[in-house]
Chains A and B, each alone.
Chain A
Amino acid sequence: MVLAVAGVAVVFFALPFIGLLWRVPWSDAWSLLTTDSSLTALRLSMVTSVSATAVSFVLGVPLAWVLARYGFPGRRLVRALCLLSLVLPPVVGGVALFTAYGRRGMLGDPLFDWFGIRLPFSTAGVVLAQTFIAMPFLVLTVEAALRSLDRSDEDAARSLGASKWTTFRRVSLPAVRPALVAGAVLAWARALGEFGATITFAGNFPGRTQTVPLSVYLALENDRGQALVLSVLMIAVSFIVLLSLRDRWLGTTHEASSR
């Protein structure tokens, strides 16, 4: 009985992908993938998702550290706030970004007046939207690993004469390296697939803000074959990421520790 239900669930997940693979015009796949519009979208997706991952890493690792290590009033609130975009509909995230960094937004105005930076409908805006949606994946992964890290290693490092910073850099970070890699890859995959916040905040301009997911959406209207081929590519990338990470982020992050 349980097996049968589980079987239904597996079919439920598998069927759409099988359907997709079935309908892909395989004979034209390569030429569809290498059209100018596909290549432009692919290039943009690569650049923006890698940038978003880098920003997530630089900001997210210290954030994860603070969340894992410091008890301060309102920590739960800060944590919830920073992870909110994980559960938020990305479109809502995009709208929120607009109110902050948009043309009439809180920060958008001064950014333009003082620095001439205009984020909405720009490639930088895509990176911003992707970072907003993707960083929580990295923060969650790294925070869990830091929490399960044996504190006595850090205490020992301090007693041996290392400052907090040296301890962080030379003891804690290397010990959670698997989680850093896992978190970065997860964030990258999420950034690569970002749609809602991007189209809301950055729009849908080929070469500037039209990433692969956006171009799939657009191609569905006028070139179904291209949409299918790009979809298969996205699925392949996601699948490879999941396969390579499955043990790491399905709960057992403490393999990161030195035990």
Chain B
Amino acid sequence: MNGTATLEARITVRRRDFALDVDLVIRPGEVVLLTGDNGAGKSTLVRAIAGTIPIDEGRIVLGRRVVDEPATHTFVPPERRGIGVVHQDARPFGHMTALDNVAFGLRARGRTRTRASNEARTVLIDHGLDGLADRRGAQVSGGEGRRIVMARTLAIRPGLLLLDEPLSAIDESARDALVGVLRSVAADHDTAILLVTHDPEELRPIADRRLHMADGRLSPEGPGPVA
């Protein structure tokens, strides 16, 4: 939608008991795995790039567009960043059908109700989810829900995809389906992915790079010997 663009981020977020201090570049189509303990700051990094929390210092640039720079009072709200985000434990909107969940982002991007709906149905078919089209978000299983969330996020064709533990706490078949989706997104090289995971082995084949976060700082590769 807003095409592929390089993410260049220098991010400082300060909290009372924690500070995130990160330099990060993700090139178009690149797939970066991010590991790290709970509380290391992975979700904070995702939220800062997504724009759901403002950064305290630094600069986030998407392509040629500065999306967050406190020094110049620049802040582009999340809805105008064109970044796809799947939050930790993400579920579809409970009161909407799967179809409306997928159509939501398309509608927000100015499609008419009918067009959004038609496109959403195609997306659901592509993801093998058309059987759930009329089920409400509150009525699907965790794994089905996560797949709907992934489908609705990819439907807006983001240039950058931020995935926070997208495979956690879901059943085996949904995991397999989602790994398949991620493989094909990675193979297209249209979308860059920053993928937070505690289990990098499963996704190692699609990763271009691996980063580790500890105490709000990034380092290349994981800790200890890398297989």
Q: Taking A166-B108, A175-B95, A258-B137 as contacts, is the C-beta distance between A158 and B77 under 8 angstroms?
A: yes
Task: Identify which of A150, A157, A175, A259 contacts B104 (C-beta below 8 A).
Answer: A157
CB neighbours (8 Å) of B83 from chain A are 159
Q: B192 in the interface, Cβ–Cβ < 8 Å?
A: no
Residues of chain A within 8 A of B84, CB atoms compared: 159
| B113 vs chain A, min Cβ distance (A) | 12
For residue B209, CB closer than 8 A to chain A, the reply is no
Contact with B along A137-163 (1 / 0, CB 8 A): 000000000000010110111111111
Residue of B at shortest CB range from A257?
B94
Q: Return chain A residues, CB-CB under 8 Å to B85.
A: 155-156, 159
CB-CB contacts of A95-134 with B at 8 A, as 1s and 0s?
Answer: 0000000000000000000000000000000000000000
Give the distance to chain B from A181, nearest Cβ to Cβ, in Å: 14
- Whether a CB of chain B sits under 8 angstroms from the CB of A171 is yes
When distances are taken between beta carbons in the complex, the residues of chain A under 8 Å from B105 are 160-162
Chain B residues whose CB sits within 8 angstroms of the CB of A163 once the complex forms: 77, 79, 108
Q: Known interface pairs A155-B85, A155-B87, A258-B138. Does A160 touch B104 (Cβ–Cβ under 8 Å)?
A: yes
Whether the pair B87, A158 counts as a contact (CB closer than 8 A) is no
Give chain A's interface secondary structure class.
helix
Instruction: Give per-residue flags for B198-226: 1 if the beta carbon is below 8 A from chain A beta carbons, else 0.
Output: 00000000000000000000000000000
Q: Is A160 in contact with B87, judged by CB distance below 8 angstroms?
A: no
Q: Among A153, A160, A171, A259, which residue has the most Cβ atoms of chain B within 10 A?
A: A160
Q: B37-63, CB under 8 A of A: which get 1 and which 0?
A: 000000000010011100000000000
Number of residue pairs across A and B with beta carbons under 8 Å?
A: 78
Alpha-carbon separation in the docked complex, A166 to B153 (Å): 17
- Residues from chain A with Cβ under 8 Å of B137 in the complex: 258
Partner of B108, one of A150, A162, A177: A162
For A89, the chain B residues whose CB sits under 8 A away are none
Residue of B nearest to A159 (CB): B85
Q: Judge whether A170 is part of the interface by a CB distance below 8 angstroms.
A: yes
Q: Give the CA-CA distance A188 to B51 in the complex, in Å.
A: 40
Interface size counted on chain A using CB atoms at 8 A: 22
A156, A166, A171, A257: the one contacting B87 at CB < 8 Å is A156
Question: Is A174 located at the chain interface by the 8 A CB criterion?
Answer: yes
Some 30 contacts from A to B, beta carbons below 8 A apart, are A152-B89, A155-B50, A155-B52, A155-B78, A156-B86, A156-B87, A156-B90, A156-B149, A157-B104, A157-B108, A158-B79, A159-B51, A159-B52, A160-B79, A160-B105, A160-B153, A161-B80, A161-B105, A161-B108, A161-B109, A161-B156, A162-B104, A162-B105, A162-B108, A163-B77, A166-B108, A177-B95, A258-B93, A258-B94, A258-B138
Q: Which residues of A contact B (CB under 8 A)?
A: 150, 152-153, 155-164, 166, 170-171, 174-175, 177, 257-259
